[in-house]
Structure 1
Amino acid sequence: MNSFISLYSEVFETASHYYDNIVKVHVERLTELDNILPPSSTFLMLINTATYNYEFISKNIQYATGLNRESMYAGGIKYLLSKVHKDDIQVWITALQDLMTFCMTNVSKGDRKKMSFQYNYRLQVRPDKIINIVENQIPLELDDIGKPVIGLGHFTVYDDGIFHPIKAYARMLNKNEEYETLFFKNYGVQYLLGGLSNREQDILRLLALKKTSKEIGTKLFISHHTVDTHRRKILKKLKISSTSEILSYCKENKLL
Structure 2
Amino acid sequence: MKPILNIFDEPLLYTEGLSKLLIQNKIFSSIEIFNSCESLYENIKVHPPEFVMISSNIMMLTEIYQCIENIIAENKKIKIIVIGSSYDVTVIRKLFNKGIKSYLDKNSSYDEFVRSVNALSADEIYICEYAKQMMINFISNEQEKPNPNIKDPLTRREMEILKLICDGYSSKDISEKLFISINTVETHRKRILMKLNVKNSVGVVKYALENNIIN
Regarding TM over 0.5, the answer is: no
Query: Whose helix proportion is higher, 1 or 2?
Result: 2
Query: Whose strand proportion is higher, 1 or 2?
Result: 1
TM-score calculated relative to the size of structure 2: 0.30
In our comparison, the structure showing a higher alpha carbon Rg is 1
